[in-house]
């Protein structure tokens, strides 16, 4: 059989199996679902190191030790956040209304190559916590580690009592298979994390989708900030897993009054400022001819980036920095760079810095994330009011702050960008984004009250003498 046709058929078969399994799973009580999630979380965290090693060997992106942290984040932190969450059955009762959690059905989980195993763990856990089945579509450059992660989760779920087939993964990976998965009528929701083209395809599929494209978050170090600590946080973030997390900082913006101090701190903590010639040479490797980010730079170390551009950086260099004066789509340094590379901008004051941050976001990453380091709450509020982002992170590393590891945001590896960013939500995605809420509502007034434009403070649900109630309404005796 033709491989493309075979891959499409595999998707159809996986969806049918998951639908049958999800019918049974949708009848599970909250406690039974929670038992499944608990056993999956406890089991998969034992494989964090193995899966991290597989991801590094297959993709060449990032750092082994940081991928272990991300796998643990998905299996431990995410679990701790969702474990007591009510997702099925009665969620709450108040104001003569009952809210009931209803699973959506089958989730299509599209997985990127930058965070392959951790994102797989996360998407499977939140989907099953919500009472859904899920079909995973691996990125072709990370298929082995993703398939292994899914197989482990499948085995753990069935050991915990979940029906066979609830979790599926495509092993014949083609564009046609991904298209079939996204467009299939059996899919209730698409969770798309990855490149801009893939996210747009998810929204055009005809099925509901939550899509997250590129980030390009600028970090503003305002004059009142602790400069030493701000630089530490930025460099810690940008070097974590070699910068592959989309919430990581892409640019630093400072005011003229702070430039000298911030530059000194950056150099002392391992930042290397490129010469103009070096900046041009490295810049040629950041973008491809079509204007998209060059996968050759993604998750690579400073040393490897130097090899690519035929440049040598001083020993101990942690992050490469290019001082820039303009931002544009053609300027590679004002775009998303999933590597330890930063742009550096100097502005007259915080107002101009705010304008520069918005300019950068409008080029790429609008709706995603930005960072501010400041002790001035008034300026922080101004940034929060004006920035076209879903997350403004304050005095924290962008990468782990955006994921909810160093902030009180919901722990997540899919970060909504809101309507301004072309996303259906601005949330850090949790199981609550993967359920429908059915509302059962009692009547609280009669039509005569509506006609008279009156609100009657009366509990009709407890009225036993209906004839007397009707008489009172008709005679207009009841008062507000």
| Long-range contacts formed by 439-445: CB under 8 A, 24+ apart | 439/97, 439/98, 439/99, 439/100, 440/97, 440/98, 440/100, 441/96, 441/97, 441/98, 442/96, 442/97, 444/96
Give helix then strand counts, H and E, for the chain.
Answer: 18, 15
Token pair of 419 as six digits:
């309507």
349: number of Cβ within 10 Å: 12
Report how far residue 197's alpha carbon sits from residue 175's, in angstroms, rounded to the nearest whole number.
Answer: 12
Contact indicator for 338, 313 with CB cutoff of 8 Å:
no
Out of 246, 354, 417, 449, which one is annotated catalytic? 246
Contact indicator for 180, 213 with CB cutoff of 8 Å:
no
429: number of Cβ within 10 Å: 22
For residues 100-112, b (16+ Cβ closer than 10 Å) or e, as one string? Answer: bbbbbbbbbbbbb
Q: Is 246 a catalytic residue?
A: yes
Instruction: For 240-363, list the strands marked E by DSSP.
Output: 251-255, 271-273, 319-323, 341-347
Burial class (CB in 10 A: 0-12, 13-18, 19+), 359: middle
136: number of Cβ within 10 Å: 27
Known catalytic residues?
246
């Amino acid at each position: 059989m033709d491989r493309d046709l075979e891959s499409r058929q595999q998707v159809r078969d996986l969806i049918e199996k998951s639908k049958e399994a999800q019918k049974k799973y949708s009848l599970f009580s909250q406690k039974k679902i929670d038992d499944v999630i608990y056993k999956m979380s406890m089991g998969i965290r034992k494989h964090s190191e193995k899966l991290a090693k597989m991801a590094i060997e297959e993709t060449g992106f990032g750092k082994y030790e940081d991928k272990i942290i991300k796998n643990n984040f998905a299996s431990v932190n995410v679990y701790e956040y969702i474990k007591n969450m009510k997702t099925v059955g009665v969620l709450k009762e108040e104001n003569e209304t009952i809210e009931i959690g209803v699973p959506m059905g089958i989730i299509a989980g599209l997985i990127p190559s930058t965070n392959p195993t951790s994102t797989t763990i996360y998407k499977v856990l939140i989907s099953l916590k919500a009472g859904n089945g899920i079909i995973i579509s691996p990125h072709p450059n990370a298929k082995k580690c993703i398939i292994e992660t899914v197989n482990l989760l499948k085995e753990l779920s069935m050991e915990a009592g979940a029906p066979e087939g609830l979790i599926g993964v495509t092993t014949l990976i083609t564009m046609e298979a991904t298209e079939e998965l996204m467009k299939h009528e059996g899919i209730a929701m698409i969770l798309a994390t990855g490149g801009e083209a893939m996210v747009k395809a998810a929204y055009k599929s005809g099925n509901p989708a939550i899509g997250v494209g590129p980030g390009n978050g600028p970090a503003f170090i305002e004059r009142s900030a602790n400069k030493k600590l701000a630089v530490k946080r930025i460099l810690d973030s940008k070097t974590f897993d070699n910068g592959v997390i989309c919430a990581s900082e892409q640019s630093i913006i400072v005011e003229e009054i702070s430039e000298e101090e911030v530059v000194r701190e950056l150099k002392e903590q391992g930042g290397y400022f490129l010469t103009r010639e070096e900046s041009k040479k490295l810049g040629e490797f950041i973008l491809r001819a079509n204007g998209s980010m060059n996968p050759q730079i993604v998750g690579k170390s400073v040393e490897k980036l130097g090899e690519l551009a035929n440049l040598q950086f001083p020993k101990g260099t942690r992050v490469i920095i290019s001082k820039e004066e303009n931002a544009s789509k053609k300027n590679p340094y004002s775009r998303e760079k999933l590597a330890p590379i930063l742009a550096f901008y100097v502005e007259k004051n915080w107002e101009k810095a705010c304008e520069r941050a918005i300019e950068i976001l409008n080029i790429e990453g609008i709706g995603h994330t930005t960072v501010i380091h400041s002790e001035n709450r008034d300026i922080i509020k101004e940034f929060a009011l004006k920035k076209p982002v879903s997350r403004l992170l304050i005095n924290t590393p962008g990468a782990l702050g955006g994921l909810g590891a160093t902030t009180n945001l919901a722990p997540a590896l899919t970060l909504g960008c809101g309507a301004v960013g072309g996303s259906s939500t601005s949330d850090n995605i949790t199981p609550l984004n993967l359920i429908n809420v059915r509302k059962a509502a009692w009547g609280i007034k009669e039509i005569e009250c509506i006609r008279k434009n009156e609100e009657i403070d009366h509990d009709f649900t407890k009225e036993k003498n209906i004839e007397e109630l009707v008489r009172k309404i008709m005679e207009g005796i009841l008062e507000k």
